[in-house]
Amino acid sequence: MVRLVCLLLLIFSAGVFSQNTATGPHIEVALVSEHNQVRVGDTQWLGVLLSPDKDWHTYWLNPGDSGEAPTIQWQSDANIEFGDIHWPLPKPIQVAHLVNYGYEGVTLLMVPINLKQITKKRISISADLSWLVCKEDCIPGWATLKIDLPVSDTIKLSEHSNLFEQTRLNLPEKHKNTAQFELTSTHLGLQTTLPYQSDWHVFPFRGDVIAHNAEQAWAHRANRSQVVISLSDYFATPSEPLNFLISDGKNGFYVEAIPNDTSGADNNSPSQSLWLMLLFAFIGGLILNIMPCVLPILSMKALSFAQSQKANQWGYPIGVLVSFWLFASIILVLKEAGSAVGWGFHLQEPLLIAGLAFLFTFIAMMLWDLLPKGINLAGVGQSLTGESTFTQQFFTGVLAVIVASPCTAPFMATALGVAMISPMLDTLAIFTALAVGFALPMTLLSLSTRFAALLPKPGAWMQTFKHFLGFPMLATVVWLAWVFLSQTSSFGQLWLLSGLLGFTFFIWLSAKVNRVYCVMSLLLAMTFATFCSVKGTQATKVISKQKNNHFSAQKLTELRNNNHVVLVNMTADWCITCKVNEQVALNNADLQALFEDSKVDYLVGDWTNKNQAIYEYLEQYQRSGVPLYVVYAGNHSKKVLPQVLTPDIVINAIQQAKKEINHATSN
C-alpha cells in the first residue's frame, strides 16, 4: 500500500495524466482547441497551454545557455496531419551570467492540424508532453494529455478562442527576410533590413551559434543594419544558411542568413566601433602615466618643469608619437611575416631585458650626480633634470614609451586587442590615440602655466627628491634581473650582474679620472649585454618545481568538460601589473582556500617567453598582451575579469561560476 501511494505521488509530481489538463510542481499544463468541432479539409488549431507560477519560466525552441524546450508527440485514431509548433516571441531571461530564451507567464504553443478524411464521428487526439520549468532551480515534467472532438460540417469557436487570437498577435511574421552573415574567428556579423528603429534582439535557432549573454549592438546604415555578436565556443563554421528570429518584444520576424561571399576576405576585421576603440586607447594612454613602470620617469620629467620653463615644448610629445608609430609599424611587419607578437613582445627577448637593465642603472647613476661633467646622451641625462633642447626632449619621450611597454592600463587592453587584428590604418589610428593620451599630461605642463602652477615651487628639496628617485630605478633593475633569470639561467643572470658591476665601476672611474672612460664603460656595457644574453640562452634554463597548474588548451578543455570552475591567469614576469595582482589578490588566503575544492582549478599561462599556445589564447579574447584573467563555469559560461584585481572580484566570480554549474547541472 505504501509503495502504491508513493507511486501515485511520483506520477502526480510529474504531471502524468490521461486527460486534457495536468498539474506539476510550479506549473499547470492543458491541451486546448480553438474550436469545439473539427471539419475535414480545414486547417484548425490545437494548443498546449503552459501556466507556470509567478517568477518561474518555460523555454523557447532554443533555450539558450541552459534549459530545455517543450516537446510534443502527437497520436490520434484518425487520419490527421499535425504541423510544427508556432512559437510566440520569446524574451531573454537572465540567470546569473547565463541568458536563457523563454516565457514568463501563461504561454500557448499553437499547432495546426488538418483532418484528411472522415473515419468516425468523434476523434481522439493525445499529446505526450515534456517540459522544464525553472526559477533558480529547474523541475522537469511529463504528461499525456487527451482531447476528444466531434467531426462536423459546422464548427464553432471554443472558450479558448480569445487566447488563440491573442497568441497570434505575439507570433513572428510568417515570411522570412533575407540576410547575410560574416564570420571572424571570434564574432558573427549579421546584416539584414529592419522594419523600424527599436531595441532588436537576435535569437538563433541553434544553440551553438552565438554567446547568448554577449552584448548585441546594432549599427544602422541607409538600407541595411548590422549586428556583431560573439561566437559560441562550440560553433563550427557552417556552409549552410543560419536561421534567426529578430524581435523587439512586441514584433518579430524570421531571417534565413546565407554566408556573405566576402566573409573570408576580412576575417580579422574588428567587431567594435573604431571610434569607441580610439576613445579606449586615449583613456588607456592617460592612465598609463600613473602605472608603476612609468611614474618614476615622468616624476623626473615633472621635476625638470619645476626647475625651468624654458624647455622645448614639442620635443616630448613628438618623441612619444614617433615611438608608438614605430612600435605599431614593427608589430604590423612582424605579424605580416607570420610572427606571434603583441604588446610588450620585445620584453620576451633577453638581450633587450639586459639593455634596459643597463639603461636604468645609468639613469640611477645620473640622478645621484655620479656622471662625468658635460655628459649629455641626447636627452637621457639633462633632459630629465634641467633645461632641454628639442632633441633631448624627444629622446625623453622615447624613453618614457620604452619603460611603459611592459604595462597595460585599463581600457588599453581592449583597444590594443582590436588594433592587433585590424587593417593597417585602423591599427595606426589606435596607436596614435594611445600616444596622444600618454603624452597629454606632460605636454599640458609645458604649454599651460595654469597646469605648471600645480607643481611645487623649486627649492633645496628638489636635490633630495632627485637622489631618492634613483632607488626606484635600481628597484627596476632588480626586477629586470629577475625577469632575465626566468628567460635564461642562473649562469646568464650572473653575467648580467657582473656586467652591471663593471658598468657602474667605469662610470665612477670616468668621473674621477677622465671623461674618456665613460665611453669605455658604455662599450663594456654593450659587450656584457650581448655576451650575457647569448650565454644565458645557451645555458640550461632554471626550471622551477613542476606544478600541476600550468596552462594548456587541452587541460582547460578537460576541466571544463568535467564541469569544473577554472580560473585562467595569463601572466609574465615582465608584467608589473600581473605581479601586483598576484600579491594583492591571487595570494589571498580566502581565495587560496577556494582552490582546495576539487572542482575549482587554477591554470597559469606564463608568457615571459614566446609561447604560441598562449598567444592564440589571448587572440580569442582580442588581447595583445597580459594580464588576462578568465573564470569559466564549466562549459556553461565564462567571465573576463578586470586587469586590476581585488580578492573580492576573483572570489565572487568563482562563487558565481559554481552557482551557474549547479543551476545548469540540475536541469
Within a domain: residue 548?
Answer: no
- In this structure, the answer to whether residues 382 and 527 fall within a common structural domain is yes
| 536 close to 495: Cβ distance less than 8 angstroms | yes
Residue 7: what pLDDT? Answer: 38
Predicted pLDDT at 28 = 94
Boundary-marking domain end, from 511, 538, 565 = 538
Residues 92 and 158 in one domain: yes
Task: Say if 36 falls within a structural domain.
Answer: yes
177 and 316 part of one domain: no
In order along the chain (667 residues), what is the average pLDDT of each group of 10 residues? 39 48 91 94 94 92 87 92 95 82 94 89 92 79 92 91 93 82 79 88 91 82 79 73 91 88 42 71 79 61 56 76 84 64 62 78 78 50 53 77 65 62 77 86 73 62 74 81 75 79 78 61 59 50 47 90 92 70 82 86 84 83 80 90 87 90 74
CA 39 to CA 328: how far, in whole Å? Answer: 74
> Which of 202-235 are b and which e, b meaning 16 or more Cβ less than 10 Å from the residue's Cβ?
bbbeebebbbbbbeeebeeeeeebbbbbbbbeeb
Q: Which pLDDT score, from 0 to 100, does residue 85 have? A: 95
Alpha carbon distance 13, 22 (integer Å): 10
Domain final position from 211, 230, 259: 259
- Residue 582: the pLDDT is 82
- The residue among 147, 168, 189 that closes a domain is 168
Residue 68 contacts residue 141 (beta carbons within 8 Å) = no
Does residue 350 sit in the same domain as residue 470? yes
Helix axes 315-336, 424-447, angle to 10 degrees: 160
Looking at the domain assignment, is residue 78 inside a domain? yes
549's CB contacts (< 8 A; 6+ apart) are 601, 602, 603, 604
d(CA 325, CA 431): 7
In a domain, 534, yes or no: yes
Radius of gyration of the chain measured on its C-alpha atoms: 34
Same domain, 462 and 597: no
Give the count of domains, the chain.
4
148 φ/ψ angles, rounded to the nearest 5 degrees? -110, 135
- Beta strands of 470-521 (E only): which ranges? none
Question: Nearest to residue 628, comparing CAs of 578, 584, 574?
Answer: 578
Q: Are residues 392 and 442 in the same domain?
A: yes
Kindly report the CATH number assigned to the domain that includes residue 202.
Answer: 2.60.40
Instruction: Name the percent of the chain in helix, strand, coil, to the closest 5.
Output: 40, 25, 35
User: Domain range spanning residue 164?
Assistant: 2-168
pLDDT of the residue at 544:
34
Q: What is the pLDDT of residue 254?
A: 93
Looking at the fold, whether 399 and 281 belong to one and the same domain comes out as yes
132 shares its domain with 33: yes
Give CA–CA dist 406/426, Å, rounded: 23
In single-letter form, the type of residue at position 619 comes to: E
Q: Tally Cβ neighbours within 10 Å of residue 564.
A: 21
How high is the pLDDT of residue 286? 82
Residue 546 is assigned to a structural domain of this protein: no
Same domain, 234 and 315: no
Same domain, 52 and 157: yes
C-alpha cell at 405: 611597454
Cross-strand bridge partners of residue 24: 27
Cα separation, 385 vs 369, whole angstroms: 11
Does 545 reside within a domain? no
pLDDT attached to residue 6: 41
Q: Is 268 among the domain residues?
A: no
**Residues 68, 177: one domain?**
no
CATH number assigned to the domain comprising residue 145: 2.60.40.680
CA–CA separation, 125 vs 73, rounded Å? 11
Does residue 265 form part of some domain? no
Residues 534 and 566 in one domain: no
Cell of 81: 496531419
